[in-house]
Amino acid sequence: MPRQPKNTVPILEKPRGGKGSRSLLALERDRDATLGTIRELEEAARSIHERGFTARSFDTISSVGATLDEMFRRHEELEEDLLFPELRKIDPALARSFSEEHRTTRGLLGTLHSTIRDIEGGRIHGSSVGDLLRTIRELVTVLRRHIIHEGDVLAPFIRQKSRGKNPGIHDN
């Protein structure tokens, strides 16, 4: 295993069962893919809002929601396992705020999935199409805000740590 340069954080990579490692630097690369997935979800919801409920748009919401859930699960796992322990040493309040954003997002993804299941199961009295569209709007807003927050705060921190610098969390 290569030696870590002095003042770097050895947690910047996580072994993945013989398949190499998953670097926190991948979080930056994943951002564009996540934004594209969010746009796809938003467009399907917009289609239902403007043109009415269609099986095609609903199927898109269902499949994109599942994809987004998987993407977020991987994202959350990386940050919670690799980044936040280090961040808690430097800025515990900031680590808590990111963890809270994750809990909020996880809750909204759960609401999205239960609403989808209700609609698929014909139980729309409990979850209406309007509930589905409101949940998507809230989820999109929360995810975009989270991505911006991470881009403004965590991305510079990760880049500097990966170059062997030992910055404060708000240094650029």
What is d(CA 110, CA 123) in angstroms, rounded to the nearest whole number? Answer: 17
| Closest of 28, 9, 10 to residue 155, by C-alpha | 28
In a domain, residue 92? The reply is: yes
Mean predicted confidence (pLDDT) in 17-34: 64
Per the structure, the complete domain to which residue 88 belongs is given by 23-162
Beta strands (DSSP E) in the chain are: 13-15, 21-23
Per the structure, the count of domains in the chain is 1
User: For residue range 156-167, what is the model confidence (pLDDT) as tens digits?
Assistant: 777 776 676 555
The reply to whether 33 falls in a domain is yes
Q: Is position 80 within any domain?
A: yes
Per-residue pLDDT at 63: 97
Q: What is the DSSP string of 59-93?
A: HHHHHHHHHHHHHHHHHHHHIIIIIHHHHHHH-HH
Name which residue leads in pLDDT, 43 or 169: 43
pTM value surpassing 0.95: no
Mean pLDDT over residues 132-149, rounded? Answer: 95
Residue 123 within any structural domain of the chain: yes
In a domain, 70, yes or no: yes
9 within a domain of the structure (yes/no)? no
